[in-house]
Structure 1
């Protein structure tokens, strides 16, 4: 099963060094039965894009949490795509997060299929989205618009061999 895991550039650097993403448990996003049922007209590629988008939102939240904690983290969303056994993935029952899954183990480098990262041209919009996230969570429509604007930027695809270059 392809699972999309939210990440940040500093966390990606730790993955490169440790040769795994962890520790468990990990929250990711995938094409789940609930997502397939909800998005009945979509093909597999469309459903995977929905899961990737959900993971990118998770990455945005990780960036915001790091900033609150005083961590100087680059304003670029990062998503790790991994191929894991179906048995390693459990799904929840929250219908608001139909694509959300949980992994009870770390993900070794061999299971990482690719990395998706914002292009540097997206930084200003990602900065604005991170700043607007608290107000968006409180229902501010203008802030939600700003947060949604981050999704106008497609994440770039990188092979696992390029991970070291991304964090240098």
Structure 2
């Protein structure tokens, strides 16, 4: 199953250094095309559109992680993972599209990484600082989060992660 793991550049460095993310923090919360996401996303039932919706939810999750990690670059990071179905628990009871991964994510399972470009950093910084207030319903904070969501994430193959990190 393709899942989208919210992450930070610190977590990407962990992946490069140790070959895995989440060795000390499983289950990992991620996003995927789940029954609740399919039901919510009534505009289109094309798999590609649904996958993009799951990736977008993970990018929003990344803002929360960036806010909590002072050492991470101020960029949203999403790791696309091909996880075995048996290791994925659908948790639509938590929110639409939420899944939990029973095992750490190893480099071989990483299909791609999606990261903001450097021109998004000021907007992502403001959005990360506002994400909690936005989650609680503050309209001004939601506008800052929406601004960050206006930036598309760039795609990188898993073998490009070290070179990407070297540029940050």
**TM beyond 0.5:** yes
Task: Give the whole-Å Cα distance in 1 for the aligned partners of 2:132 and 2:59.
Answer: 17
Partner of 1:46 in structure 2?
49
Q: Do the aligned partners of residues 93 and 79 (structure 1) sit closer, same or farther apart at CA in structure 2, a change above 3 Å counting?
A: closer
Uncovered stretches (5+) of structure 2, i.e. residues with no partner? none
Partner of 1:136 in structure 2?
134
Q: 2:104 aligns with which of 103, 106, 110?
A: 106
Q: Do the aligned partners of residues 125 and 18 (structure 1) sit closer, same or farther apart at CA in structure 2, a change above 3 Å counting?
A: same
> Where in structure 2 are the equivalents of 1:76-115 lying within 5 Å?
76-94=75-93, 97-115=95-113
Moved beyond 4 Å, runs of 4+: none
Deviates more, 1:1-10 or 1:139-148: 139-148
Q: Do the aligned partners of residues 72 and 93 (structure 1) sit closer, same or farther apart at CA in structure 2, a change above 3 Å counting?
A: closer
Task: Give the whole-Å Cα distance in 2 for the aligned partners of 1:131 and 1:152.
Answer: 17
SS in 1 for 2:148: helix
Task: Give the whole-Å Cα distance in 1 for the aligned partners of 2:78 and 2:63.
Answer: 10
Deviates more, 1:16-25 or 1:118-127: 16-25
Q: CA RMSD in A?
A: 1.4
Task: Give the whole-Å Cα distance in 2 for the aligned partners of 1:34 and 1:136.
Answer: 22
TM superposition shift of 1:16:
0.8
1:36 aligned to 2:44?
A: no
TM superposition shift of 1:99:
0.5
TM superposition shift of 1:161:
1.1
Uncovered stretches (5+) of structure 1, i.e. residues with no partner? none
Task: Give the whole-Å Cα distance in 1 for the aligned partners of 2:22 and 2:150.
Answer: 29
1:150 aligned to 2:152?
A: no
Q: Do the aligned partners of residues 28 and 132 (structure 1) sit closer, same or farther apart at CA in structure 2, a change above 3 Å counting?
A: same
1:27 aligned to 2:43?
A: no
Q: 2:159 aligns with which of 158, 161, 167?
A: 161
Alignment TM-score, normalising by the size of structure 1? 0.91
Alignment TM-score, normalising by the size of structure 2? 0.91
**What is the aligned length?**
163
TM superposition shift of 1:29:
0.3
TM superposition shift of 1:79:
0.5
Task: Give the whole-Å Cα distance in 2 for the aligned partners of 1:107 and 1:134.
Answer: 26
CA contact (8 A) 2:10 2:71 kept: no
